[in-house]
Structure 1
Amino acid sequence: MNPWYLLYCKRSEQQRAEQHLKRQGVDCYYPQVSVEKIRRGKRSSILEPLFPNYVFASFDPEKISFTTIRSTRGVVDFVRTGALPTRVPFELITNLMSVEDSDEQRLALSDLFKPGDDIEIITGQFEGAEAIYKESDGELRSILLINLISRQVEVSTENKVLRKK
């Protein structure tokens, strides 16, 4: 089984990158999720990228070079740790595939928090900090108003690191 890597793509060109990579014989995974939005006054369900600007790719580095992948239309570069492209655990890919479009995932993307809710950050660099939920942006991140040093500072963080107080 070939290792999985994470590619950073040009803005809004994940689908193009995925198409060109597949033509080269690379297995790709571009997770998308159904999100309800209001467009022209009507509620509609649209597909949005789960991770904007990122595509997972699996290939044999002995058959297809890293340079070939990096030179593909829509691809900027590999996500790296130092000089080497970072390998993505196979378990992460299978877990994402299993929940990508399930009811559980749709629930996770709905507005679990309402503007003005008092919340506590449960992981990450702001762990234990109390905040006021402001809004959710299109990248499944939450904008928070955190009282730091007597003033409110906006911070972007993932919804999964939050819980209601």
Structure 2
Amino acid sequence: MKSWYLLYCKRGEQKRATLHLENQGVECYSPEIEVEKILRGKRQRVCEPLFPSYMFIAIDLEVGPSFTTIRSTRGVMDFVRFGGQPYQVPRGIIERLQCYQACDEACAQLPKHGQKVQITAGQFAGFEAIYQEPDGEKRSILLITLINKEVTIKVDNAQVDW
């Protein structure tokens, strides 16, 4: 059965290590986070590793590859160790990280600020609105026009057609 371990990679070589490990049949997981940065004078959103220079790998010690083979892979420095032995990461931690990443991807599907949306259910069904921003995980703040006046409302995401 596969167990998860934590690897320390050479600085800036996480992608190289992932490529070479996957070629050896090792399952790799390196959670990423989207951050806003100013690059070349422009504000941009970029994905960066959540844990720079670290990655999780799943291997079955009976099938291989061995610890020595993994340690000698390009881009890999060594296993994170406690008491001289590679630390076996509990499966629940990996599942929780993957769950959080799935939630972030769902939030990324929201429309952009200023985009027109159609309200499909609820008391404002049939209204066209302008998306403003998320309000938690399941609601959004929209701008609608009522009697020639713009009004901000909070609507459940299930009631809006992006």
Instruction: Quickly name the TM-score band, shorter chain normalised.
Output: 0.5 to 0.7
Structure 1 consecutive aligned stretches of length 4 or more whose deviation exceeds 3 Å: 101-104
Q: Secondary structure at the match of 1:100?
A: helix
- How many Å separate the matches in 2 of 1:100 and 1:25? 23
Q: Which residue of 1 aligns with 2:157?
A: none
- Aligned residue identity for 1:57: I
1:15 aligns with 2:45: no
- How many Å separate the matches in 2 of 1:4 and 1:88? 5
Tell me how far 1:61 sits from its aligned partner.
1.2
Tell me how far 1:38 sits from its aligned partner.
1.2
Structure 1: 5+ residue stretches without partners: 107-165
Q: Secondary structure at the match of 1:46?
A: strand
Report the TM-score when normalising by structure 2: 0.61
Q: 1:66-145 to 2 correspondence within 5 Å? A: 66-100=67-101, 102-103=103-104
- How many Å separate the matches in 2 of 1:77 and 1:30? 16
- How many Å separate the matches in 2 of 1:61 and 1:67? 11
Decide whether the 8 Å contact of 1:33 with 1:101 is kept in 2. no
Decide whether the 8 Å contact of 1:35 with 1:47 is kept in 2. yes
Decide whether the 8 Å contact of 1:14 with 1:55 is kept in 2. yes
Decide whether the 8 Å contact of 1:37 with 1:45 is kept in 2. yes
Report the TM-score when normalising by structure 1: 0.60
Structure number with larger C-alpha Rg:
2
- Aligned residue identity for 1:73: R
Q: Which residue of 1 aligns with 2:2?
A: 2
Q: Which residue of 2 aligns with 1:30?
A: 30
Tell me how far 1:41 sits from its aligned partner.
2.1
Q: Which residue of 2 aligns with 1:148?
A: none
- Aligned residue identity for 1:83: G
Q: Which residue of 1 aligns with 2:127?
A: none
